[in-house]
């Protein structure tokens, strides 16, 4: 949902490099609260105009012809001519949206830099002020939706810096641009029709319906379909106003997290230590086991935080075996439904922890470990394929298949099999000529 990353392919890369399945990404966009916002590690270190751009599909219709077809479809779905014509008055495609849509940044930010920004002292301070300021709403929201205030405020902080940055672009114009000639036209078209529905219901005017270039809106950065399924009027003025009402925004986000399985009072995750000679191949998001079984396998938990021994958890190594290790529980999965990025979910969890005054991480990040760039990730996938592994297509996205291939290669070398791609691994795959 973060406008800066939504629809960003590199975000998916990062995501993937964190060993996530990318169910919320563009291929399956119906589920997440926002369109695939990406993370962290995939954030470009260069301005969007610099990275190599994928070729744009050439639209077969003029924009006016396309708009006319869309108008017929919208009216057939019950949108009034007045709503449609007001929303589209003066609307033309926005080239900046297409540039953002096709951007494939070469460089990614390390997860520790992303997390440092997400939990910066100013963000923690502002979040604690919001916890106090919104105390009454947060208590009522907790009673209704069962989402703990600190983590709900952490989502708010990640999405819009507590309502400060929501995106300034016309949602109708952005989505019209993407539906007309973007990379995922059908998805954008369904969001555009959902946005027209919001306008027709009168929750917000077209002029005030602002958001990210990808159509993520308001303080929660909901895409229009998520808005229609989960936005709530909590302040009782009759409108679901996630742009201007913090109570509506917080309740809407809580509604979504609650529907995604958030369990009140349970931790999202715990930092853990791993015994010497631990089998790092166990650290895979698909490998979920009861807490007590992890403890038998050599995961050292200093405080189980009231969790029962049968609480299901996965072991997460966001920067490989050299960095911090976490057991992540059901609430982590609930955060991933909001935004399917491991880095994002970690950021929400750690920011929420800081808002509650919990201790910072104990383990150090491998600061000397460079992130692979996009061309290096593609080279890695090509080299793995050439050596008989099956990393999937060489698209620069480190997904489940690439991770498994990396793991298999690491095991063949007798290395720690954490599935985390490094420069050393790439060099081992590509011996100097």
Q: Give the interface with Ca ion as residue ranges (CB under 5 A).
A: 233, 235, 237, 239, 241, 245, 248
CB of 161 to Ca ion, least distance (A): 21
Q: How many CB atoms lie within 10 A of CB 55?
A: 7
Question: Tokens 């290790």 appear where?
Answer: 325
- For residues 377 and 359, give the distance between their C-alpha atoms in angstroms, rounded to a whole number: 35
Of 144 and 430, which has the nearer Cβ to Ca ion? 144
Of 202 and 370, which has the nearer Cβ to Ca ion? 202
CB of 93 to Ca ion, least distance (A): 32
CB of 240 to Ca ion, least distance (A): 6
- For residues 141 and 135, give the distance between their C-alpha atoms in angstroms, rounded to a whole number: 10
Q: Return the structure tokens found at 315.
A: 């072991």
What is residue 428's three-state secondary structure? helix
Task: Report, in angstroms and rounded to the nearest whole number, the Rg of the chain calculated over CA atoms.
Answer: 22
CB of 133 to Ca ion, least distance (A): 18
Determine contact, residues 251/141, Cβ cutoff 8 Å. Answer: yes
Of 44 and 245, which has the nearer Cβ to Ca ion? 245
Of 40 and 198, which has the nearer Cβ to Ca ion? 198
Of 218 and 318, which has the nearer Cβ to Ca ion? 218
The CA distances from residue 9 to 15, 321, 395, in Å, are 10, 25, 10
Within 13 A of 141's CA, how many CA atoms are on the CB side?
30
Handedness of CA 37, 43, 48, 51 (dihedral sign): negative
Of 20 and 199, which has the nearer Cβ to Ca ion? 199
- For residues 262 and 258, give the distance between their C-alpha atoms in angstroms, rounded to a whole number: 5
CB of 162 to Ca ion, least distance (A): 18
CB of 235 to Ca ion, least distance (A): 4
Residue of this chain nearest to Ca ion (CB atom): 233
């Amino acid at each position: 949902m973060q406008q800066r990353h939504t629809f960003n392919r590199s975000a998916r890369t990062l995501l993937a490099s964190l060993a996530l399945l990318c169910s919320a990404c563009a291929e399956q966009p119906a589920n997440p609260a926002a369109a695939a916002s990406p993370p962290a590690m995939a954030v470009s270190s260069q301005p969007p105009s610099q990275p190599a751009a994928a070729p744009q599909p050439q639209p077969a219709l003029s924009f006016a012809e396309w708009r006319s077809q869309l108008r017929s479809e919208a009216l057939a779905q019950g949108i009034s001519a007045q709503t449609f014509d007001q929303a589209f008055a003066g609307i033309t495609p926005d080239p900046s949206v297409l540039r953002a849509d096709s951007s494939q940044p070469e460089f990614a930010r390390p997860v520790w830099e992303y997390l440092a920004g997400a939990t910066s002292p100013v963000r923690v301070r502002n979040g604690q002020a919001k916890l106090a300021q919104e105390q009454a709403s947060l208590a009522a929201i907790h009673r209704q939706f069962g989402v703990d205030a600190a983590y709900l405020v952490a989502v708010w902080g990640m999405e819009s810096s507590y309502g400060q940055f929501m995106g300034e672009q016309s949602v109708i114009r952005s989505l019209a641009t993407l539906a007309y000639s973007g990379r995922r036209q059908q998805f954008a078209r369904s969001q555009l029709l959902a946005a027209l529905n919001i306008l027709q219901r009168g929750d917000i005017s077209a002029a005030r319906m602002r958001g990210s270039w990808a159509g993520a809106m308001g303080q929660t950065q909901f895409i229009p379909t998520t808005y229609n399924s989960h936005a709530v009027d909590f302040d009782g003025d009759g409108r679901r106003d996630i742009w201007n009402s913090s109570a509506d925004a917080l309740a809407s986000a809580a509604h979504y997290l609650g529907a995604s399985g958030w369990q009140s009072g349970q931790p999202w995750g715990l930092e853990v230590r791993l015994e010497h000679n631990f089998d790092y191949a166990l650290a895979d998001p698909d490998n979920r086991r009861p807490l007590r079984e992890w403890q038998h396998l050599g995961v050292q938990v200093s405080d189980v935080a009231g969790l029962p021994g049968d609480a299901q958890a996965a072991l997460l190594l966001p920067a490989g075996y050299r960095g911090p290790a976490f057991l992540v529980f059901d609430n982590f999965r609930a955060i991933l439904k909001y935004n399917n990025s491991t880095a994002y979910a970690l950021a929400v969890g750690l920011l929420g922890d800081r808002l509650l005054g919990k201790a910072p991480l104990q383990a150090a990040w491998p600061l000397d470990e460079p992130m692979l760039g996009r061309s290096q990730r593609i080279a890695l996938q090509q080299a793995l394929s050439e050596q008989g592994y099956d990393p999937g297509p060489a698209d620069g996205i480190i997904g489940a298949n690439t991770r498994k291939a990396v793991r298999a290669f690491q095991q063949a070398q007798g290395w720690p099999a954490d599935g985390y791609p490094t420069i050393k691994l790439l060099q081992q795959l590509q011996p100097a000529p």
